[in-house]
Structure 1
Amino acid sequence: MRSWGPMCSWVPMCSWERRPRRDEGHSKALTLAILLICALLTSTSSAAEPLNVTVEGLVLQPGTYSLPEGARLSDASVAAQVRADAWFLGAALLRRAAIQPQQKLKAGLLFDLQSSRVHWQAEEQAAGVELAGRLLTAVEAMPVTGRVRAQLDPLQQLALSRNGLLQDGDRIAYPPRAERVRVTGAVKADCLLAFDPSLQPVDYLDQCPRHALADPSYVHVVQPDGRTQRRGVALWNREPGNVAVGAVLYVPVDPKHLAADAQGLNDDFVALLATQVAEAGAAGKGLVSESAIAAGAPLLPGVKQGLGASVGTYRGRNPAATGSAATEVAFTDSIGVAADSTVGGATRGDMTPQGEQSVGEYAGG
């Protein structure tokens, strides 16, 4: 009988017994590597830097808060103690990540307006040239705020779906309640109208004469929280629409009058309006300058950057300030708006009549 024993030294199958030992070693090494990666990820997560979030406006404790990673809107609301008289619908969340896209939006809108002006000049359309110039001035004055839509009512934030995550550098502003509705766009002149809850969009338009190049069939409603709606206002397409206090009605330019390369003008204009800080108080637009946003100054309508910074400094030192006439006088004098005083280069020239009112409201309303 032939013996096969000696052949096992070269038959591959005979060496199979040794393979589990090598595989077992590889498996252990792989397990150790995975554990090491998990440990590194855990240590990195635990060492994550806190989020710096600023809350200002009608809150009891305005300021910048250091919150842990994963903090939500409600954490900022609780920390700052939002006042009951704050205007939640007009509150704004300003986010750094939204700045660049909005800069592109504004640049594109300015280009469309300039193209339209050239188009109307070529067509010898004087009314169009005038409208384009006025809208260009309005858009150039609009700041790039970084505003993003968010639920800023502390009670609504109790629902997780409405309680978004915060990001480092976020700023939240709670303005006083507005009192008016603004009509802008293709109108003969912007109108600031008294709010009436019984009025429909067309009712406001009846109080603000439209431009000859206006679209007669539609209006865009920009609500204070940034939501936008297009509503029919002609006899053939008229439809109801809610207009909240502080809303902006944008009357579009009739597309048939626009240049071929500017057909997106109306949509871009509405989108930029939706990023603006909602109108606050009886007298103004409630817009903050780009430099003030960059400097972290309070959102005070009609107040320039240097003065806004002084306002913030004073408010931080005097959290108990009230809105009484006597306190407002002391408040404005202390931050350098009296004719014979200055603070940090801020003078009365840095404040419009609208700004004087907004400072008083910021002092405690």
Structure 2
Amino acid sequence: MRTLCGVAFSISLALSQAHAAGTVNVYVSGDSKAKTLTNAAHLIDVVGQPRLAQSWWPGAVISERQATAAQEQRQQSLLAQLDALAGEESGDSAAAVSALRRQLQEIRVTGRQKVNLDPDYVRVASGANPPLEGEYSLWTGPQPTTITVVGLVSQPGKKAFTPGRDVVSYLDEMSVLSGGDKSYAWVIYPNGDTQKVPVAYWNRRHVEPMPGSVIFVGFAPDLWGARNETLNADIIDSLTHRIPE
């Protein structure tokens, strides 16, 4: 499984010997308000809370306040790039870019920390229980029952998750819009891992997304440059930092 690495995925959980305990706003799916946990000295003090015992940890997200501000800026920059691209295009191509921008505008992003949140793992694995310092937010809840399709497709949005169903079968329900990649799609798994999946008739591979995954259909490769590749990478980065619904 391929994982995109970068600055946005760096762990900002402080490793200093002397530090103040963290404050964590905990958002549990179905609750109207966040619960604030203070004096969380280590990660296990958060994920080990008995009230969170029913959480589906592969889809949980923890973020740090300053990283969130940076990620929100990157999101605004991405939306501006798509605005500019839509202005350069015309007809179906412009409409497709604008539709993609609207999808991404609806996604809330956060400064996600790339860290395993499973309490059993945090308790026993070396280095898996770092001290906390500063302000954090944690989103958690039950296992989702849907996957989400995003990108240059005719029917984006949530689709019912079906065990055994592969990426191609989800995409077979829709068409690829002008400028979209008909040969590959990306799966963004709930834990933030990503995988490039061949989906054309000549290269298709059976890959089953987990519940809560995002299937992203991006821009087809450029003939004369790398702008589309850069845009795809920026969009994937944004999707890996989305706040779970």
Q: Does 1:50 align with 2:15?
A: no
2:45 corresponds in structure 1 to 75
Note if contact 2:55-2:141 (Cα within 8 Å) is conserved in structure 1: yes
- Give 2:56's aligned amino acid: W
Equivalent pair of 1:221/1:247 in contact (CA under 8 Å): yes
Residue 225 of structure 1 corresponds to which residue in structure 2? 191
Pairing of 1:170-249 with structure 2 (within 5 A): 170-249=136-215
* Large movers: runs of 4+ above 6 Å: 257-260
Greater fraction strand: 2
The answer as to whether partners of 1:191 and 1:208 remain within 8 angstroms in 2 is no
Q: Deviations over 1:143-195 (max 9, x none)?
A: 23222222122122122333343231111121222101111101012142221
| TM-score, structure 2 as length reference | 0.81
SS at match of 2:55: coil
Q: Which runs of 5+ in 2 are unaligned?
A: 1-16
Distance verdict in 2 for CA 1:49–1:144, change over 3 Å: same
* Residues in 1 aligned to 2:45 and 2:70: alpha-carbon distance in whole angstroms: 27
Q: Deviations over 1:2-55 (max 9, x none)?
A: xxxxxxxxxxxxxxxxxxxxxxxxxxxxxxxxxxxxxxxxxxx77x54322233
Distance verdict in 2 for CA 1:193–1:135, change over 3 Å: same
Match of residue 5 from structure 2: none
More helix by share: 1
Deviation at 1:240, TM superposition (A): 3.4
The DSSP-based 3-state class of the residue aligned with 2:89 is helix
Shift of 1:275: 0.5
What is aligned with 1:104?
A: 73
Question: Hey, what does 2:37 align to over in structure 1?
Answer: 65
RMSD of Structure 2 on Structure 1 (CA): 2.6
Q: Which amino acid aligns with 1:77?
A: V
CA offset at residue 130 of structure 1? Answer: 1.0
Q: 1:58 to 1:102 in 2, by over 3 A?
A: closer
Name the CA distance, whole Å, in 1 between partners of 2:66 and 2:188. Answer: 22
1:93 corresponding residue in structure 2: 62
Q: Counterpart of 1:20?
A: none
In the other structure, the counterpart of 2:6 is none
Unaligned runs of 5+ in 1: 1-44, 279-285, 287-365
Query: What amino acid sits opposite 1:231 in the alignment?
Result: V
Cα shift at 1:247: 0.5
Q: Which moved more, 1:206-215 or 1:176-185?
A: 206-215
- The 3-state SS of whatever aligns with 1:155 is helix
Task: Write out per-residue CA displacement over residues 200-229 of structure 1, whole angstroms, 9 at most, x where no aligned residue.
Answer: 211211123322322111001011111111
Residues 58 and 192 (structure 1), Cα distance of their counterparts in 2 relative to 1, 3 Å cut: closer
Residue in 1 that maps onto 2:3: none
Question: 2: CA distance between counterparts of 1:245 and 1:53?
Answer: 26
Do 1:219 and 1:232's aligned partners in 2 also have CA atoms closer than 8 Å?
yes
In the aligned structure 2, how far is the partner of 1:111 from the partner of 1:58?
31
| Distance in 2 (alpha carbons) for counterparts of 1:180 and 1:220 | 17
Residue 132 of structure 1: CA displacement?
1.5
Partner of 2:4: none
Q: Separation in 2 of the partners of 1:107 and 1:258?
A: 26
Provide the C-alpha distance between the structure 2 equivalents of 1:248 and 1:241, rounded to a whole number of angstroms: 13
Equivalent residue in structure 1 for 2:134, among 152, 156, 168: 168
- Secondary structure at 1:271 match in 2: helix
Q: Percent identity?
A: 27
